[in-house]
Amino acid sequence: MRRISGVFAAAGRIELVGTHKPYRHRFASCHYPSKRALHRWTLILIPGGCRYQIPSLRSVLDNMKKLLVLPGDHIGVEVIDQTLRVVDWLRTHADLEVDVTTDIIGGASWDRHGTFVTDTVVEKCRVADAILFGAEGGPKWDEIKARGGPKMLSGLRQLRKDLDLFANLRPVKPFDALDDASSLKPEVVRGVDLVVVRELTSGIYYGQPRGIETRDDGSRRGIDTQSYTDAEIERIVRFGFELAMSRRKHLTSVDKANVLRSSVLWRDVVTEVAPDFPQVTLNHLYVDNATMQLVRDPKQFDVIVTDNLFGDILSDGAAMITGSLGMLPSASLGPVDSSGHRPALFEPVHGSAPDIAGQGIANPIAAMLSLAMALRLALERPDLADRVESAIAGALNTGLRTADIAADPSKATSTTEMADAVLAKLALTS
């Protein structure tokens, strides 16, 4: 038996000497055991201390949920750093049992490995219960991605394709304290609660052929291909219907069926699937009308389901209902496999913002809300998701604002100060 930081360890046994208090010892990238885990173990009192009998240290780690953190580039690193402070608090004070590991992606990966995401990272993503992603990219690497080709996709786009993360959820639910942060009138914003469900692994972002060609006369032509199969449409539409069933039972399908043949197929498939969900009210909108309606009366929407391109545009527009892209989280989910595992990636939607990187002014709330989505949808701790969201609301209620949501930028709160406020409120939640 050998001593490690006050803990005696032997095969199949960990012994805590000199105290009867539950303990946490840092092992690699996880805390173990939490108080919650200790309740499942056999407690044997011994003179001068206590002993916890466990099957093996490896079995404890294997049973933990796995969180893979990919900060990315620029402000992605900054907001994820602050979000990991929340993770550490939850592990220390709220019995969150999770094995956390960190790796690189995006420009950081290109500079080190010559690829935006390595095969090793993709494999780590496959076995993770949740992936917490920051943001990637910047001017330094834009030309590389613009050349096209499967090896030059962004790391995030590659993950979406390799993990089949076909369903992207972007919830839009403004905090009451930020009624005045939106460019829309408070009476328009107050009470909005909608989700944009975006198809994420097909459409124009992945269609072939694509590229820029030089023609015989020296002129250039850019080519992108928008294509969908009925199967690709059906699975995202069914996902949207099922989500609507868990909410207010209203689904809006957005397309451009008056112009695009892919949208004609989209609308056909939506109409074919609808009878399987008779409790859900369905309506169709052209994307230009949907954009107008989001600004005019966003409260009319419950769940919006749409393709990759339209979902990208509509969800960023809807983010301004909340006051800023810095307030909008997202989840990207894949299919459930035979073992019940579903790949799941969670990220703020604001991008890497290289223009403000290093200034300490990025808003960390979207990243923290993405963590809350991970807790609810992948890590099986909806109670902690509620606590994180309540802590964020509490911090905003004190009047603290980062620059993107501040009425007076000269009084803006820093990234770290906003995280400090969230952690202080988190300590008051139960």
Q: Indicate which residue of 103, 316, 386, 420 is catalytic.
A: 316
Cα 266 to Cα 255: distance, rounded to the nearest angstrom: 7
- At residue 25, φ and ψ (nearest 5 deg) are -125, 130
Say whether 161 is catalytic. no
Q: Which residue has the tokens 């008779």?
A: 278
DSSP tally for the chain: helices H, then strands E: 15, 19
CA angle 340, 345, 351 (to 5 degrees): 170
Q: Indicate which residue of 288, 297, 337, 355 is catalytic.
A: 288
Say whether 256 is catalytic. yes
Closest CA to 210 of 220, 227, 224, 228: 224
Q: Indicate which residue of 66, 256, 307, 404 is catalytic.
A: 256
Closest CA to 141 of 206, 74, 204, 213: 74
The answer to whether 335 and 156 have CB atoms below 8 angstroms apart is no
Say whether 316 is catalytic. yes
User: Which contiguous run of DSSP H or E holds residue 119?
Assistant: helix 119-127
Instruction: Give me the long-range contacts of 146-151 (CB less than 8 A, separation at least 24).
Output: 148/210, 148/211, 151/115
Q: Collect all residues with Cβ–Cβ distance below 8 Å to 206 and sequence separation of at least 6.
A: 157, 161, 308
Say whether 206 is catalytic. no
Cα 304 to Cα 170: distance, rounded to the nearest angstrom: 10
Helix boundaries (H) for 190-325: 230-245, 261-273, 287-296, 308-319
Q: Collect all residues with Cβ–Cβ distance below 8 Å to 182 and sequence separation of at least 6.
A: 174, 188, 189, 320, 321, 322, 323
Cα 289 to Cα 297: distance, rounded to the nearest angstrom: 12
In terms of C-beta density within 10 A (0-12 exposed, 13-18 middle, 19 or more buried), how is residue 122 classed? middle
Q: Indicate which residue of 145, 312, 404, 425 is catalytic.
A: 312
Q: Dihedral (C-alpha) 405, 409, 414, 419: value to the nearest 10 degrees? A: -30
Sequence length of the chain is 430
Q: Which positions are catalytic?
A: 205, 256, 288, 312, 316
